[in-house]
Amino acid sequence: MNNQKQQKPTLSGQRFKTRKRDEKERFDPTQFQDCIIQGLTETGTDLEAVAKFLDASGAKLDYRRYAETLFDILVAGGMLAPGGTLADDMMRTDVCVFAAQEDLETMQAFAQVFNKLIRRYKYLEKGFEDEVKKLLLFLKGFSESERNKLAMLTGVLLANGTLNASILNSLYNENLVKEGVSAAFAVKLFKSWINEKDINAVAASLRKVSMDNRLMELFPANKQSVEHFTKYFTEAGLKELSEYVRNQQTIGARKELQKELQEQMSRGDPFKDIILYVKEEMKKNNIPEPVVIGIVWSSVMSTVEWNKKEELVAEQAIKHLKQYSPLLAAFTTQGQSELTLLLKIQEYCYDNIHFMKAFQKIVVLFYKAEVLSEEPILKWYKDAHVAKGKSVFLEQMKKFVEWLKNAEEGKSFPWCSLFGKA
């Protein structure tokens, strides 16, 4: 038996040289930059020629690898160092956004260059988005004129869909906000964006990326109020943006009011406490009474599980609403509020088919409880009603309206025909 250890086999052989095509190409943005700048210098300031040059060069140069360098050159004229400065020892070109005229028409023409380039080379989309995010973080390193040009260009690119509104996240950088750079940049950006589209299109884009409720973050925490935002942007000529933000804040406040109101009702809080809370919210958030009565009505109607049988739901509704009449009456001190409540009742009874026959009983109950008065009811009947269930509800109200018009002083309406014994 051979106890000697067997020798392990070893690999040996000739070492082969790596083939040229398998070698990893060295990252060399300087050489790429030189090619682009040379080409731009030859085209001059004719942006049509620039677009054609960039289109053709994509077949020869590695745009995918050097996307950042490409966009640095097109915006700033050369490769940017951290912070947004151009390196002194690098080549640069005047065929770029920062060296162009500071007007919207010129920036619209540059936007077309970027648009054509990215349509031709779709893989540049992400790189361009990252570039703009970076440029926004570098704003402090640019001159005021360069910032203005970039803002106008960004607004146009947001309008034509080349950029996504999520790039605006960079403007919420603490240092940019603190020094007022973000707000000033936003003025130019939104002016060019709204000029291309309108406030509704801008709002839709902001909503899509959950940016619609964040615009006040363009200011430091101690200035994040609707009043400050409205004053700043209105004075800058952007009244429609100011109104949009004010409306957004109001919508948020209304939702919060309805949520809290429903919770207070569920807990059975005293009406005097609920009324006090609502009035404080009205004052704080500048919510008008006609809007509030709609919120109160919706909250009152959502606190109960309604009977599915039409013959029983009217009785249930009268009992429930009689209980909440003092709360509703606190917010119908204006004729417009009463009219709003009448329309809300009409819409509710139409949308919830079991309530179709309850409309008149609810209105008469509210008249008796002094939630509604004669004049708004007559106006609603004459010409202020909506189309929903119009013929049914007008027929229901006919006798009561005739009584309101013709009743002698002191002569009461036959309530027992509606509610039983008065």
Cα–Cα dist 384/400, whole Å: 17
List all residues 6 or more positions away from 178 whose beta carbon is below 8 Å from its beta carbon: 220
Q: State both tokens at 65.
A: 């690898």
Mean pLDDT of 118-134: 96
φ, ψ (nearest 5 deg) of residue 86: -90, 135
Question: Among the listed ranges 77-81, 270-274, 285-289, 318-322, which one has the minimum average pLDDT value?
Answer: 285-289
Cα–Cα dist 136/131, whole Å: 9
Identify the CA nearest to 297 among candidates 367, 366, 344.
344
C-alpha 415: how far from chain center = 50
pLDDT, tens digit, for every residue of 198-253?
999 999 999 999 998 899 999 999 999 888 999 999 999 999 999 999 888 888 88
- Candidate CATH numbers 1.25.40.180, 3.90.1150.10, 1.20.1290.10, 3.40.50.360; the one for domain 300-417: 1.25.40.180
pLDDT at 156: 97
pLDDT, tens digit, for every residue of 251-261?
888 889 999 99
pLDDT, tens digit, for every residue of 25-48?
566 788 899 999 999 999 988 999
Question: Among the listed ranges 15-29, 99-113, 137-151, which one has the minimum average pLDDT value?
Answer: 15-29
Mean pLDDT of the chain: 89
Identify the CA nearest to 298 among candidates 330, 259, 335, 326.
259
Q: State both tokens at 261.
A: 């109101």
Q: What residue type is assigned to position 46 of the chain? A: D
The percentage of residues in the chain with a pLDDT greater than 70, rounded to a whole number, is 89
pLDDT at 98: 96
Cα–Cα dist 390/351, whole Å: 12
Cα–Cα dist 140/182, whole Å: 10
Cα–Cα dist 185/189, whole Å: 6
* pTM (predicted TM-score): 0.67
pLDDT, tens digit, for every residue of 278-317?
999 998 888 899 999 999 999 999 988 888 887 788 899 9
Q: State both tokens at 264.
A: 């207070």
Mean pLDDT of 145-163: 96
Contact, 304 vs 320, CB < 8 A?
A: yes
Query: For 341, what's the count of Cα atoms within 13 Å in the CB-facing half-sphere?
Result: 32
Beta bridge partners of 259: none
The angle subtended at Cα 57 by Cα 56 and Cα 62, nearest 5°, is: 135
pLDDT, tens digit, for every residue of 181-199?
999 999 999 999 999 999 9
| pLDDT-based confidence at residue 61 (cuts at 50, 70, 90) | very high
Break the chain into its structural domains and give their ranges. Answer: 29-209, 225-287, 300-417
Cα–Cα dist 204/10, whole Å: 69
Task: List Cα–Cα distances, 355 to 8, 174, 382, 385, in angstroms.
Answer: 93, 54, 22, 17
pLDDT at 22: 41
Measured over all CA atoms, what is the biggest interatomic distance in the chain, rounded to whole angstroms? 133
Mean pLDDT of 110-119: 96
**Which H, E and C letters describe the chain, residue by residue?**
CCCCCCCCCCCCCCCCCCCHHHCCCCCCHHHHHHHHHHHHHHHCCCHHHHHHHHHHHCCCCCCCCCHHHHHHHHHHCCCECCCCCECCCCCCCCCCCCCCCCCHHHHHHHHHHHHHHHHHCCCHHHHHHHHHHHHHHCHHHCCHHHHHHHHHHHHHHHHCCCCCHHHHHHHHCHHHHHCCHHHHHHHHHHHHHHHHCCHHHHHHHHHHCCCCCCHHHHCCHHHCCHHHHHHHHHHCCCHHHHHHHHHHHHHHHHHHHHHHHHHHHHHCCCHHHHHHHHHHHHHHHCCCHHHHHHHHHHHHHCCCCCCCCHHHHHHHHHHHHHHHHHHHHCCCCCHHHHHHHHHHHHHHHHHCHHHHHHHHHHHHHHHHCCCCCHHHHHHHHHHHCCCCCHHHHHHHHHHHHHHHHHCCCCCCCCCHHHHCCC
Identify the CA nearest to 31 among candidates 61, 59, 51.
61
